[in-house]
Homo-oligomer: A and B are copies of this chain.
Amino acid sequence: MHKGAAWIVTVGNELLIGRVVNTNASWLAGRLTYLGYAVRRIVTVPDVEEDIAEVFREALARADVVVSTGGLGPTPDDITNIAFCRALGVDPAVNEEALRMVEERYRSRGYPLTPERVKMAQMPPGARPLPNPVGTAPGVLYEAGGKVVVLLPGVPREMEAIFEGYVEPLLKSRGPPVFFAERGLEVRGVPEADVAPIIREVLRLDPRIYVKSHPRGREVEAPLLYIHVYASAFDRGEADRLVDAAVGRLVQLLKARFGGAVSISEERRLA
């Protein structure tokens, strides 16, 4: 069982000449899986309007949720919003709310609103802008016929911030209910770099498990990590069991690898 089929569309010539590894696709794939979706296809296309429009048409015909990254900025090759309008067969229109978002960003730095910047506020009529807390280009949310399309910028931290702030809450509320469970651990005495391979091992247990580590101490002298373990399932008990299994495996691997050097305790309060 899953909430529906998802497609990920990543736009950018830099991906097609092999200069950039597509970490946006794997990040989104992990998050959509955790949210209960089955990611059925990831497609990368160049900054060419017809190529982008074509993949959106294919995706709209076959997926319930489509998330794209890239091509929302102010340069002439940023055309994902325009190409998406073309895929829908509608004319792009300036969204007033989006225009205010873009204008505020630039005005606060003393820059005028040029046509390239206004372009970032264009979207299909009926679409909704998603605030970008760390950059200038708003995301775009389009819902029609039970389908959701989200356009996100290609800069990873902008993409992640918009997804976590606006897309994740929306997707959680759609489709059959998904239950989430989480636990937090405080881990002292081991540097984050040494914990990374152990986390990768824990993630192999189940695709619905998600682990995030936050370094808090000084990396060399007094390393302190908060490790949050999340899991999702279509049943509350199953989500709890997955988190418990992941925490159990994590503790086992940390002790096997670091012995008495590591100290682990349940975190008192989750961030």
A: residues with CB less than 8 A from B are 15-23, 25-33, 39-46, 51, 55, 203-204, 207
Contact = CB atoms under 8 A, between A and B. Distances in A.
Given A18-B28, A41-B55, 8 more contacts: A15-B42, A16-B29, A16-B33, A16-B39, A16-B42, A17-B29, A17-B207, A25-B44
A39 B39 CA distance: 23
A60 B110 CA distance: 51
A19 to B, nearest CB: 6
Copies per complex of this chain:
2
11 contacts: A16-B39, A17-B29, A17-B30, A17-B39, A18-B26, A18-B30, A20-B26, A25-B44, A41-B43, A41-B51, A42-B44
A37 to B, nearest CB: 10
A27 B18 contact: yes
A18 B27 CA distance: 6
A26 B31 contact: no
Nearest to A55: B41
Contacts of A44: 25, 41-43
Given A40-B46, A45-B40, A45-B41, A22 B19 contact: no
A40 B29 contact: no
A8 to B, nearest CB: 8
Contacts of A17: 29-30, 33, 39, 207
Contacts of A33: 16-18
Contact of A25 (B22, B31, B46, B51): B22
Contacts of A19: 26, 30, 203-204, 207
Given A17-B207, A203-B19, A51 B40 contact: yes
A207 B19 CA distance: 8
A145 B42 CA distance: 28
Which 4 residue pairs are nearest across A and B when measured between Cβ atoms?
A: A18-B30, A18-B29, A42-B44, A17-B207
Nearest to A41: B45
Given A41-B51, A44-B41, A44-B42, A21 B21 contact: yes
